[in-house]
Amino acid sequence: MKLITLCLFLFVSLLKAGDRPNILWITSEDNSPYLGCYGDKLAVTPHLDKLASQGLRYRHAYSNAPVCSTARTTLITGMYASTLGVHNHRSAVAIPPVFKLYPEHLRAAGYYCTNNSKTDYNVADIGKKLWDESSNKAHYKNRAEGQPFFAIFNFTTSHESQVAPKPGKTSFRIAPEAMPLPPYHPDTPEIRRDWANYYDQMTLMDTQVGQVLEELEKAGLADETIVFYYGDHGGALPRGKRNIHDSGTRVPLIVRIPQKWQHLAPAKPGEWVDDLVSFVDFPATVFSLCQVPIPAHYQGQPFLGKKKASPRDHVFLYRGRMDERYDTIRAVRDADFRYVRNYSPHRPWGQHYSYPFQVQPSMRSWYAEFAAGRCNDVQSVYWKAKPSEELYQPMVDPFELTNLAQQTMHQDRLVKMRQVLREEMLSTRDTVFIPEGMYSQLAGDQTIYDYAQSDAYPLERLMDLAGAATMRNAANLPAFMGALGDPHPLIRYWAATGCLILQEKAAPAQKILTSLLQDDFKDVRVVAAEALAYLGEKDSSLAAVKGVIETGSLYESLAALNALDFMWKAGHVTRDEARAMVKNLKTKEPNDRIPKYLLSED
């Protein structure tokens, strides 16, 4: 490693600062392409529209995950978060120490790296020396004379916490009553006000972007700096952030390349680029532009610069735990279609996430309308159990309302994209099938990445089993029953999940499931207990869940709390019984949120 570092230093020392561009990343949180330059007629975004006229607009840019920490972790590592096991929101997971993060490579190459100011990574023990500066005062102006810089300016103005109008706000650029709504949202005053206010926030964010660009211009650095603007994932309103659809993963991406480096651009200023790109590609692209060697373990491919790769034919998307709720999903998106594989089809898209319910009147209003029976079929589906597979054609169906997975005319497409997703998961050694609570038990002294790369992780077998488990087909029950006694805990876990998804149809497996209430792995106990609740074993199920809540690790306890909540919602326990279990429970965030919810009057 020391030899590699020395060679890199000697290489970059031969480069003059003027031979390498500065890189400025401007990011805004929680917004889809709600910009005038992307054709949104409601948007007033003059500064970003001007930047687009001077640069390139990417029509197909995606955050690999629809939540900030997982998206940022994909960026900072240059790898799929699902490969490293860092895909669960606000986690702290060790990765191999030889996997250096992109600012470390840029700094070794002589770049001054600043972050203003969000970090929010799911990697453990990053330390304070990752950046030259990381704070709300971090700035490229503090670099040494002639030193190239890489700088991030991140704006929270469009974040979900800013969706609701501030108290006393009564004036909106677009009157709420005139605001068009997506068809999946019911028509309520709260939803209209949140949408109207959000467009005001987008205009405010645009002004902030303009200030950063003006500062760059005044410093005389615009001609030496490649500017990236992008959203950190999809939109802030309900069914945006946290969702794997375009509304949660498609982002605006504008790249302005000065004349000096126009030979590296794939199109002329002001034009569209139709290449598919995703966040995993961003670090490799910066290295390509800055003449920095791309680490062999990086999974992204450059879409600009001397090392520009051939365009992708699809991007890979993933989600795991969001806030306090588990929901395992994988997807691939090409230029025309999106294929989604739901490994938690027994959970709705719209679980009760405490944070958005707290900060967004629109979320509370939508759920209240659903609970009162006032939502139509399109508006109701968000709050119901999911299909096992989804297939959409967003260019024809931009709100992704019509699932084509069961339509005969699209079966060839379904089979093809199902195989593409399978190959992605296998080639990247996706940690998708490992419950978060099992990480330390399975990995031991290794990282979960090392475990998942080894033969100890039976990925192909798990993929077949989990695929069958999530299809709601009772014909698979004999296979599940055989797998419930398997020596491998992950096999037992997914076999029990198959029984849970089958609900009452899993009755023949009741005796074997009961034996799993004493399993060595508490995550297995939890899923077996929830499955048994559908088979009438209330007392033993509740006792098993209670035991894990009280004695499990942080994430084992969280899984048990989720199971308890869904057992109540399914009518297997009363709310008073659930409340009694958590009344005096001392928990840490995020597993303190479900007890607060169960104890509330909502």
544 conformational bin, left if phi > 0, alpha if psi -120 to 50, beta if neither: alpha
- pLDDT tops 90 at residue 526: yes
Structure tokens at 247: 């509304």
Q: Provide, rounded to the nearest whole percent, the portion of the chain with pLDDT above 90.
A: 96
- Asked if the structure places residue 10 within a domain, the reply is no
- Asked if the structure places residue 362 within a domain, the reply is no
Helix (H), strand (E) at residue 392: strand 389-392
- pLDDT tops 60 at residue 2: no
pLDDT of residue 13: 47
Average pLDDT for 223-239: 98
| Helices of type H across 225-301 | 246-249, 282-290
Average pLDDT for 167-182: 97
Give the range of the structural domain holding residue 578, as residue numbers without chain letter.
440-599
- Asked if the structure places residue 535 within a domain, the reply is yes
- pLDDT tops 70 at residue 519: yes
pLDDT of residue 99: 97
How far does CA 15 lie from the centroid of its chain?
37
Q: Are residues 299 and 448 in the same domain?
A: no
Give CA torsion, residues 197, 199, 204, 210, to 10 deg. 180
Band (602; pLDDT cuts 50, 70, 90) = confident
pLDDT of residue 17: 53
- pLDDT tops 50 at residue 1: no
- pLDDT tops 60 at residue 9: no
CA distance linking residue 513 with residue 508, whole number of Å: 10
Residue where a domain terminates, one of 267, 282, 305: 305
Average pLDDT for 346-368: 97
Which region among 11-15, 107-111, 491-495, 504-508 has the lowest average model confidence (pLDDT)? Answer: 11-15
Residue where a domain terminates, one of 280, 305, 330: 305
- pLDDT tops 60 at residue 569: yes
Strand partners, 339: 332, 391
How far does CA 354 lie from the centroid of its chain?
17
pLDDT of residue 127: 76
Tens digits of residue pLDDT in 246-290: 999 999 999 999 999 999 999 999 999 999 999 999 999 999 999
Structure tokens at 445: 């002294």
- pLDDT tops 80 at residue 204: yes
Band (18; pLDDT cuts 50, 70, 90) = low
- Rounded to 5°, the CA angle 426-440-519 comes to 90
Give every CB contact of residue 483 below 8 A, 6+ residues apart in sequence: 465, 491, 492, 494, 495
- pLDDT tops 70 at residue 454: yes
Average pLDDT for 355-360: 97
Average pLDDT for 83-105: 98
* CATH code, domain with 125: 3.40.720.10
- Asked if the structure places residue 337 within a domain, the reply is no
Number of domains in the chain: 2
Band (10; pLDDT cuts 50, 70, 90) = very low
Of 23, 57, 19, the C-alpha closest to 37 is 57
Residue 571 CA: distances (Å) to CA of 113, 472, 566: 54, 21, 8
Residue 573 CA: distances (Å) to CA of 46, 125, 579, 582, 593: 55, 41, 10, 13, 19
- Asked if the structure places residue 457 within a domain, the reply is yes
- pLDDT tops 50 at residue 390: yes
- pLDDT tops 60 at residue 4: no
- Asked if the structure places residue 7 within a domain, the reply is no
Instruction: Name the average pLDDT for the chain.
Output: 96
Structure tokens at 191: 């939803």
170 CB burial (10 A radius; 0-12, 13-18, 19+): exposed
- Asked if the structure places residue 215 within a domain, the reply is yes
CB 304 within 8 A of CB 262: no
pLDDT of residue 12: 47
φ, ψ dihedrals at 360, nearest 5°: -120, 105
Of 337, 290, 335, the C-alpha closest to 311 is 335
- Asked if the structure places residue 80 within a domain, the reply is yes
CA distance linking residue 181 with residue 228, whole number of Å: 30
Q: How many CB atoms lie within 10 A of CB 395?
A: 9
pLDDT of residue 6: 46
Residue where a domain terminates, one of 252, 271, 305: 305
Per residue, what are the HEC states of 250-272? EECEEEECCHHHHHHCCCCCCCE
- pLDDT tops 60 at residue 3: no
155 conformational bin, left if phi > 0, alpha if psi -120 to 50, beta if neither: beta
pLDDT of residue 351: 97
Q: Is the peptide bond before 117 cis (omega within 30 degrees of 0)?
A: yes
* Residue positions annotated with a catalytic role: 68
* CATH code, domain with 573: 1.25.10
Average pLDDT for 531-554: 98
